[in-house]
Amino acid sequence: MMKKRPRIQGAAWRRLDNTAKLFAAVSGEDLSSVFRIAAVLKEPVDPELLHRALLFTLPEFENFRVKLRKGFFWYYFETNNRDPVVEEEQSAPCRFIDPHRGERFPFRVTYYGCRINFEVFHGLTDGLGAVGFVSRLTEHYLELKNGIPTEVREREFSLMRADDYLRYYKKLPRKRYESRPAIQVSGEFLPFDQMAVLHGTVRINELKNCSRAAGASITKYLAAALLWSIIRTETDGNEMKRPAALNLPVNLRSFFESETLANFFAVINVSWQEKRVPETFEEVLTAVSRQMDEQIVKERLEETISYNVSNEKKWYVRATPLFIKHLAMQMIFLHSFRAHTMTFSNIGQMQVQEGLRDQIEEFQLVVGASPKQRMKCGAVAYDGKLCLSFSSAMAENRLPEYFFRFLEERGIPVELESNGIADQEHDNGRYPATGGDKNKIKKAVRFFYLSLAVISVLAGVVNLATYRQIPFKWAFLTWGAAAYVAMTLRFSVMRHASMSGILVRQCLGIQAILLLIDSLTGLHGWSVDYAIPCVVLFEVAAILLMMLVNRMNWQCYFMYQIAITFLSFVPLVFLKIGWTKRPMLTVLSVAVSVWALVLTVLLGDRSVKRELRRRFHV
């Protein structure tokens, strides 16, 4: 029997693995860190059966039943006892999975025509973890469709949530990733909400024969072909000012004893570093084979684990607040991603029960691309075929077209299919049409920010020009109002933040504006005597009301209650410096907020301790 889930939402939690911490920090609308494994069936998908299959599959992967939460020092995963939904695909593949929207799962399941899509945030799992989920989801769906009794397989939960980066960490000499800037794919960027996809399917036997004749494995041969294609399409054919480089994920489970479904992979960089352009493909293949043989060995992979985990273990890194880690990790990521031209990920063979195999046409791996990571290639094998999928933020298909043409010239026929964004010729209608709605929204938001800036500048100029006639610094009010509106749009509307988070941010903004108005009109004291303490009392009442309404998940508001309690002491500062003349409401607001916090701690007992432990874990 499977272990019964706790009834209380968010009752259990776990730390993110070493790689997931980076993905959580750098991901957003402009860099989704989402990848897709799709099962293409031979008959159209029944959404009701797919939803039932998903509910059968999820208990086998309990570590997927989570939502991403933010602590003071690190992100963490918390149990999510909602049921995930299934929707028809309506947008570009691998779009950002907002942790505040929908059912808050770090994955989504969609369908379109004959295709089942499983898209997952890379912080939850890697390619091998997703392979197991998609295999079981597809099996459960086909069993339900064919009227075959389905069975839920029990897994050992401790293995599913293990962080094997820490398990196999050794303190070794320091190793750094390649940081020299590499060639970047050139061309025009696609609109914000679009991504071009081009699939090329080849027969594995034909590819294997060709790679064996060249004295290399399939992965080495394809990696070399990608580098060769980059060099031929992104240089002048004479000199290379920057190296052509590939980022290759390596499954660490092949080198270390591990069954974890969390992330457990490392990346290596294979490249053509010389300034001269290679004359033949065989030169590139020799260089790639040598580099992969040197880097994909247990000793070198242990060095990579050591370097990654050692940074996390440093006391000053662990003690740094999350918002500072955010900035630092984003800067490090922006610097490191320039060291490779594109990513090539090969997740190997998909396995499905023998009696169901003939109902599946193929599987596809699509890795999310963005202007920050312009092009990626994913490979997955099934039933004697290998599907190579290019995902791109670029409007041209120059590189993948050259790559597939190169394979065909080597005697490897390629069957092409696109999603119709950058290649209409091979669009078979198996992807939905995606409009430019999000791009229009993004442009509108930028225009709105620009308008606020222009209004603020004009207000300052007019105020300065008329100050002798009207000696009042009213432009400061305009600037304050513009900043408040921009903050509301940026952090409350566009981010789909939680209600409690919106409450705290908006009330802070209101207090600042109230104090600004009072100061500009002569500091009569009405803001510090009455208005700001009343806002604090409103915040306390609102948080308590949300806790009462959502009693099963009240602990998610506890950190906001702590923040409001600390902020309630700010009016005491105004009293200390002499701004406050009538302290009754100030003292009352502090007393009420402290009393409410103490009452929560007393009534919450163990739940409060658990919430503090996960929110402040280092």
What is the Cα–Cα distance from 68 to 446, expressed in whole angstroms? Answer: 28
pLDDT at residue 44 above 80? yes
**CA dist 516 → 445, 458, 483 (Å):** 26, 20, 12
Q: Quick one: average pLDDT of 590-594?
A: 90
- Mean pLDDT, range 338-349, rounded to an integer: 92
Residue 520 has pLDDT above 50, yes or no: yes
Answer with the residue of higher pLDDT: 34 or 156. Answer: 34
The confidence score (pLDDT) of residue 513 equals 81
What was the pLDDT predicted at 131? 95
Q: How many Å apart are CA 70 and CA 76, to the nearest integer?
A: 6
| pLDDT band of 449, cuts 50, 70, 90 | confident
Q: How far apart are CA 184 and CA 233, in angstroms?
A: 11
Least trusted range by pLDDT, from 134-138, 283-287, 353-357: 353-357
pLDDT over 50 (residue 481): yes
pLDDT at 3: 46
Task: Look at residues 197, 216, 186, 276 and name the one whose alpha carbon lies nearest to residue 410.
Answer: 216
Q: Say whether pLDDT at 55 is over 50.
A: yes
| pLDDT tens digits along 264-310 | 999 999 999 878 889 899 999 999 999 999 999 999 999 888 888 88
Residue 437 has a pLDDT of 53
Q: Is the pLDDT of residue 166 over 90?
A: no
The encoded tokens of residue 323 equal: 């918002």
- Which residue from 375, 440, 420 is spatially nearest to 402, judged by alpha carbons? 375
Higher pLDDT residue, 236 or 420? 420
- Number of neighbouring beta carbons within 10 Å of residue 455: 14
How far is it, in rounded angstroms, from Cα 398 to Cα 234?
Answer: 9
pLDDT of residue 318: 87
* Top mean-pLDDT range of 321-335, 346-360, 580-594: 346-360
8 Å CB contact between 206 and 413: yes
Question: For the chain, which residues make up each domain, given as ranges?
Answer: 13-166, 437-615
Higher pLDDT, 191 or 383: 383
Give the separation between CA 560 and CA 18, rounded to whole angstroms.
27
Paired with 268 in beta bridges are: 248
Rounded to the nearest integer, the mean pLDDT of the chain is 85
DSSP 168-236: T-----------S------SPBPPTT--EEEEEEEEHHHHHHHHHHTTS-HHHHHHHHHHHHHHHHHS-
Q: Is the pLDDT of residue 2 over 60?
A: no
Residues of the chain with pLDDT > 90, as a percent, come to 40
Summarised one tens digit per residue, pLDDT across range 257-271 is: 888 888 999 999 999
Share of the chain above pLDDT 70, in %: 91
In terms of average pLDDT, the best of 5-14, 43-52, 251-260, 330-339 is: 43-52
pLDDT beyond 90 at 547: no
Helix H or strand E encompassing 55: helix 47-57
For position 413, what pLDDT does the model report? 96
DSSP state of 164: H
Q: Are 366 and 94 in contact (CB under 8 A)?
A: yes
CA dist 12 and 380 (Å) reads 34
Give pLDDT, residue 441: 63
The class (CATH top level) of 13-166 is alpha beta
